[in-house]
Structure 1
Amino acid sequence: MIESDDVFDDGTRPSGVERAVSVRLATVHGDFLAIGYLDRNRGEEQMVLVYGDVETEGALTRLHSECLTGDVFGSKHCDCGEQLSAALGAIVKEGRGILVYLQGHEGRGIGLLAKLRAMKLQAEGMDTVEANIAQGLPVDARDYQVAADILHDLGVRSVRLLSNNPRKRESLQRHGIKIDSQVPLLIPPSDENKSYQWTKRDRLDHYLPHLDIAAD
């Protein structure tokens, strides 16, 4: 296994990912280059969508944690599916950018079944943080090392991070990615997910200033 503190003689760190395949992917937002990677550390398959020239500085970049219920089935419980669509649209509008779709991040890293159990606990009155803790699980078990490895492999010099989550920024910087700025990705709250969004703001430090406007 490649450890995060391993280095070559020239001072560089070995990549934890292997580029496996690339192919054009036409989407409702535009045509992307889809690149498949193998995460050597965990044996997981990862995918990144690239639009335009991203090797120059400041490419708009989204790290999107997989969410089967939101991204695929359109669940109203969270804002993940809407964030995914908005991020792809923003990248195309920008003219260049990257979306790293992170497998293994379901339920902030606790897995699909545990996430479904957490959703049941939330239906009974807990918030998303309490539901994880009640199962004896981490509030957020995600790691962004593989995302940093992918960005390094793409030759990215620096990014404008499309995220409300300060932990993503901190993790990428820790793994050697330069962050030029953090760009909010604000989704209007609905009756179904407003409690979820408030919890992210109040208990997980996400930058969601639009919630105060919505409340007013």
Structure 2
Amino acid sequence: MIGTDDVLPDTTLRTTGVEHVVNVRLSTEFGDFLAAGYLDHDGGEEQIALIHGDVAGEDVLTRLHSECLTGDAFGSRHCECGEQLSAALRAVVGEGRGVVLYLRGHEGRGIGLLAKLRAMRLQAEGLDTVEANLALGLPDDARDYRGAAGMLRDLGVRSVRLMSNNPRKQEALGRYGIPVSERVPLLIPPRAENLFYQVTKRERFGHHLPHLPVEVNRTAEPSPAAG
């Protein structure tokens, strides 16, 4: 059973700049969710939380999913984002309780769609994903999770079991007052198109990806289709 509008009333959480605007039931191929729509007044983005079951409380299975148009909508094989999103939605339904925050404004690790496309072109020329961002004069990761923490607080989530391989997400939630009781691996088998990309995340960002080979030649990454 997913939550109800009585459990999750439309409220405003002004202390964090996050406004809870609307709830609506959403049936998907993965199961039924309650979609909670938010407006992040600090970042200016419209955000959505997909909730399954009663998520008020502790140790809630949670995914902070950064927007990735190329991977999530177009099925790009250069990244594993779309597959991670599908796996996370299946996991919370299988658990019977959980939330997936789809974080808009995080495209290309926060640099935006057009900049990400420019970075993709540089990756096709041989740079890794970090080198490409830096070559454009942009940060390697510009994402912020203040709004995500505000949304979780509004939903009554007191601590999370975070589906992520990225230690920075865990650290960010902790800074914003949401304890992470466990980090749950979300390991996607690599494809030829994204093996070097995933290895770069392990080597440059410290992602926990023990299923990848120890060393990979960057020439193993064909022409990229996502960031």
Provide structure 1 residue ranges, at least 5 long, that are not aligned to the other structure.
Answer: 1-12
- Between the aligned partners of 2:159 and 2:123, the Cα distance in structure 1 is 38
- Between the aligned partners of 1:52 and 1:125, the Cα distance in structure 2 is 45
Provide structure 2 residue ranges, at least 5 long, that are not aligned to the other structure.
Answer: 1-13, 217-227
**What amino acid maps onto 1:161 in structure 2?**
L
**Displacement over 6 Å in runs of 4+:** none
Residue 25 of structure 1: CA displacement?
Answer: 0.5
Q: Is residue 181 of structure 1 aligned with residue 172 of structure 2?
A: no
What residue is the counterpart of 1:10 in the other structure?
A: none
Residue 213 of structure 1: CA displacement?
Answer: 8.3
Tell me, yes or no, if the aligned pair for 1:38 and 1:46 is still in contact at 8 Å: yes
Give the secondary-structure state (helix, strand or coil) at the position aligned to 1:199.
Answer: helix
Q: Is residue 133 of structure 1 aligned with residue 134 of structure 2?
A: yes
User: 1:37-89 CA distances to partner (integer Å, 9 max, x unpaired)?
Assistant: 00011221000000001112111000000000000000011000000001101
Give the secondary-structure state (helix, strand or coil) at the position aligned to 2:168.
Answer: helix
Give the secondary-structure state (helix, strand or coil) at the position aligned to 2:197.
Answer: helix
What residue is the counterpart of 1:14 in the other structure?
A: 15
Give the secondary-structure state (helix, strand or coil) at the position aligned to 1:38.
Answer: strand
Structure 1 segment 189-204 matched on structure 2, within 5 A: 189-204=190-205
- Between the aligned partners of 2:27 and 2:129, the Cα distance in structure 1 is 35
**What amino acid maps onto 1:97 in structure 2?**
G
- Between the aligned partners of 1:165 and 1:192, the Cα distance in structure 2 is 21
Report the TM-score, using the length of structure 1 for normalisation.
Answer: 0.92
Report the TM-score, using the length of structure 2 for normalisation.
Answer: 0.87
Give the secondary-structure state (helix, strand or coil) at the position aligned to 1:100.
Answer: strand
- Between the aligned partners of 1:102 and 1:122, the Cα distance in structure 2 is 24
What residue is the counterpart of 1:72 in the other structure?
A: 73
What residue is the counterpart of 1:92 in the other structure?
A: 93
Residue 117 of structure 1: CA displacement?
Answer: 0.7
- Between the aligned partners of 2:15 and 2:70, the Cα distance in structure 1 is 35
Residue 214 of structure 1: CA displacement?
Answer: 11
What residue is the counterpart of 1:124 in the other structure?
A: 125
Higher relative contact order (CA 8 A, sep 6+): 2
Structure 1 segment 105-116 matched on structure 2, within 5 A: 105-116=106-117
What residue is the counterpart of 1:208 in the other structure?
A: 209
Percent of matched pairs sharing the same residue: 69
- Between the aligned partners of 2:112 and 2:57, the Cα distance in structure 1 is 35
Tell me, yes or no, if the aligned pair for 1:189 and 1:214 is still in contact at 8 Å: no
**What amino acid maps onto 1:111 in structure 2?**
G
Residue 114 of structure 1: CA displacement?
Answer: 0.5
How many residue pairs get matched?
Answer: 204
Give the secondary-structure state (helix, strand or coil) at the position aligned to 1:210.
Answer: coil
Give the secondary-structure state (helix, strand or coil) at the position aligned to 1:78.
Answer: coil
**What amino acid maps onto 1:168 in structure 2?**
K
- Between the aligned partners of 2:126 and 2:21, the Cα distance in structure 1 is 44
- Between the aligned partners of 2:202 and 2:32, the Cα distance in structure 1 is 33
- Between the aligned partners of 1:157 and 1:139, the Cα distance in structure 2 is 30
What residue is the counterpart of 1:152 in the other structure?
A: 153
